[in-house]
A = this chain, B = another copy of it.
Amino acid sequence: MKKREVQASVKDERLVKKRRDQMIKGAVSLFIEKGFHRTTTREIAKASGFSIGTLYEYIGTKEDVLYLVCDSIYDKVRERLQKGLDKNQGTILSLKQGIADYFKVVDGMQDEVLVMYQEVKSLSKDALPYVLKKEIEMVAMFEHVIQFCIENGELDLPEDKVKMIAHNIFVQGQMWAFRRWSLQKMYTIDDYINLQTDLLFQGIQPAVKAE
């Protein structure tokens, strides 16, 4: 699936990229502050450093901005996740390392993750699939890593469990952002990583009853 085309009147691709980057940067902070719907196109233009007229030289509709923002955030997260998982050796240790890396990525991009998390649903039926696809790919990346461990004989899990675990890891990453008000009062990101990893691998152990 190719990227969704966003209309631009300007031909110079270099310039388009540059202007859109300005736009995304400006928009993210606005979306964080007030959400997509409460942000006006004028505000976006201003925060991007150009006029409303110019804004519309690089997008077709307001929603395009949201698409661009979501798309860019996903790309960034995925790219970093990729980098982390590339070091994967198919061992439990490197799986753990991959999870930790992912959680740290989310920690470093909390605002972005939060925005994307809360605003994707505002995308039109048209744009949504393009963004969702990236999410699916990211979940799949975790699946592959787990699968690799299985192939290596380090783990022994049925297909459905693998998928479930991949989802859980992915969601637990996002959770660090979208439940930040509760979680970050109790845990540092390292606490969080340790606890979640521990629970993921050990589960809840029943108490050892004394005879």
- Chain A residues with CB under 8 Å of chain B are 35, 37, 92, 118, 121-122, 132, 136, 139, 150, 153-157, 160-161, 163-165, 167-168, 171-172, 175, 179, 181-183, 186-187, 191, 195-196, 198-209
Contact = CB atoms under 8 A, between A and B. Distances in A.
Given A37-B37, A199-B203, A203-B199, A179 B171 contact: yes
29 contacts: A92-B206, A118-B121, A139-B182, A150-B207, A153-B207, A154-B206, A154-B207, A155-B204, A155-B205, A155-B207, A156-B205, A157-B204, A160-B187, A160-B191, A160-B195, A161-B199, A164-B187, A165-B199, A165-B204, A167-B179, A168-B199, A171-B172, A171-B175, A171-B179, A199-B203, A200-B203, A200-B204, A201-B203, A203-B203
A176 B111 CA distance: 24
Given A168-B199, A182-B167, A121 B154 contact: no
DSSP majority for the A interface? helix
A160 B187 CA distance: 8
B163 A35 contact: no
Given A171-B175, A172-B168, A201 B204 contact: yes
Contacts of A35: 121-122
A197 to B, nearest CB: 10
Contacts of A175: 167, 171
A132 B179 CA distance: 11
